[in-house]
Amino acid sequence: MEKKKTINFGAGPAKLPPSVLLQAQKELLDYNNIGISVLEMSHRSADFSKIINTTENLLRELLNIPENYKVLFLQGGGSGQFSAVPLNLIGLKEDRCADYVVTGAWSAKAAKEAEKYGQINVVHPKLDKYTSIPDNSGWSLNPSASYVYYCCNETVHGVEFNFIPDSKDVILVSDMSSNFLSRPVDVSKFGLIFAGAQKNIGCAGVTVVIVREDLLGKACKECPVVLDYQVQAGNNSLYNTPPCFSIYVMNLVLEWIKNNGGTEAMEKLSKQKSSLIYDVINNSGGFYSCPVNEDCRSRMNIPFRIGRKEGDEALEKLFLDGASKLGMISLKGHRYCTYCKMLHYNSLYIVGMGNIIKKKKLSQ
């Protein structure tokens, strides 16, 4: 019986490279011939120290991270960082305030959480819908803000920044969870970057934080110790037991990215994949439509409607059912919106995109 081929367009946890899965499978019961699995390995052993240190070194190499930045491997996902960022940084200035750019569901959640710890200013008028990015030159930035926060790619709504915002000499913080390592980034322009691993660089359980050293030691007194960046940096992310297996899987994915050309190659691939889909949408005569303005459409997450601009639910159900029968899963949009949606992170190959394009064209 032929094994069913499945193409996973899930938002995260997302598809992993087959070679990574095979390597993890091979080493699951006996890692590196030491007789035990990473799942049962002490986080303070020499073997795990090698894994976590190698993972950090790969990240530093792939992103050219400057020496004056710490790399942390934490738990709690992006939602944990919605709390950790203000708890560690909002006290940098005595006014205890921060500026937030709200362009989608995740930056909105981050701003709401931050309100618990200080005064939060949304730098632009509230958006009626998340389909655009307000012009950076018109943002109402507060020079007394401790930091400016934005989400680089909004997974739910398919809005992506194609520029680094001008924060007017205020520390810039970015949630890069869904486009991390999909293109080169000048880390030196940021005070802090964080990213959950489960989209582009591994499996669920670990969150990467890249933070400039001079920002450490500024945490609010109410900050839980496990979220205190200085404590975690001083303990090599081992203050509490880290998600060892998730860090191990990340290590394998980072090796895969490096061996496949690094961030430059990932950027080229992401542009190729997203262009294939946007071309079908743009040339469908209105049968398919994307609600996001063309100047900020995401390379990672493409929301679309079928039948008409507002969507035809019957046609969309037919599309999703037909795609499922062909082995294409997780094309239904996030629970916050009614769109169909395609998510294609680093490890989704062009062949998978070709299959969905055939399906979309047949649907017309």
Q: What is the Cα–Cα distance from 264 to 51, expressed in whole angstroms?
A: 25
The first and second tokens of residue 220, run together, are: 């609010």
**Model's pTM, two decimal places?**
0.93
In 3D, which of 226, 242, 179, 191 has the Cα closest to residue 83? 226
pLDDT at 14: 85
Q: What is the Cα–Cα distance from 201 to 346, expressed in whole angstroms?
A: 8
Q: What is the mean pLDDT of residues 6-21?
A: 86
Provide the phi-psi class of 293: left if phi over 0, else alpha when psi is between -120 and 50, else beta. Answer: beta
In 10 A of CB 285, how many CB atoms?
Answer: 7
Residue with the larger pLDDT of the pair 329 and 138: 138
Q: What is the Cα–Cα distance from 345 to 351, expressed in whole angstroms?
A: 13
pLDDT at 13: 87
* Ranges 22-36, 250-264, 312-326: which has the least confidence: 312-326
The answer, yes or no, to whether residue 323 has pLDDT greater than 60, is yes
Beta strands in the chain (DSSP E): 7-8, 69-74, 97-100, 119-122, 148-151, 153-154, 159-160, 172-175, 192-196, 207-212, 288-289, 301-306, 328-329, 340-343
pLDDT band for 6, please (50, 70, 90 cuts): confident
β-partners of residue 49 are none
Chain centroid to Cα 306, Å, comes to: 27
Q: What is the mean pLDDT of residues 111-122?
A: 98
Specify whether the CB–CB gap between 130 and 104 falls below 8 A. yes
- Domain 261-363 listed as CATH 3.60.15.10: no
In which residue are the tokens 């012009």 written?
135
pLDDT band for 320, please (50, 70, 90 cuts): confident
* Ranges 13-22, 76-85, 96-105, 116-125: which has the least confidence: 13-22
In 3D, which of 261, 161, 152 has the Cα closest to residue 199? 152
The answer, yes or no, to whether residue 364 has pLDDT greater than 70, is no
Specify whether the CB–CB gap between 201 and 247 falls below 8 A. no
In which residue are the tokens 């030491």 written?
34
The answer, yes or no, to whether residue 157 has pLDDT greater than 70, is yes
Start-to-end Cα distance in the chain: 32
Q: What is the Cα–Cα distance from 154 to 299, expressed in whole angstroms?
A: 11
Q: Mind listing the pLDDT tens digit for each residue in 272-301?
A: 999 999 999 999 999 999 999 999 999 999
Q: What is the mean pLDDT of residues 161-185?
A: 97
pLDDT at 224: 98
- The residues carrying an active-site annotation are 106, 175, 199
pLDDT band for 12, please (50, 70, 90 cuts): confident
**In the 8-state DSSP scheme, what is residue 94?**
T
Task: Give the pairing of strands 69-74 and 207-212.
Answer: antiparallel
The answer, yes or no, to whether residue 349 has pLDDT greater than 70, is no
Q: At 39, which amino acid appears? A: L
Query: What is the CATH architecture assignment of 22-259?
Result: 3-Layer(aba) Sandwich (3.40)
Q: What is the Cα–Cα distance from 86 to 307, expressed in whole angstroms?
A: 43
Q: Give the residue extent of every domain in the chain.
A: 22-259, 261-363
pLDDT at 358: 52
What is the DSSP code string of 194-257? EEETTTTTS-TT-EEEEEEGGGTT---TTS-GGG-HHHHHHTTT-SS---HHHHHHHHHHHHHH
Q: What is the Cα–Cα distance from 107 to 130, expressed in whole angstroms?
A: 11
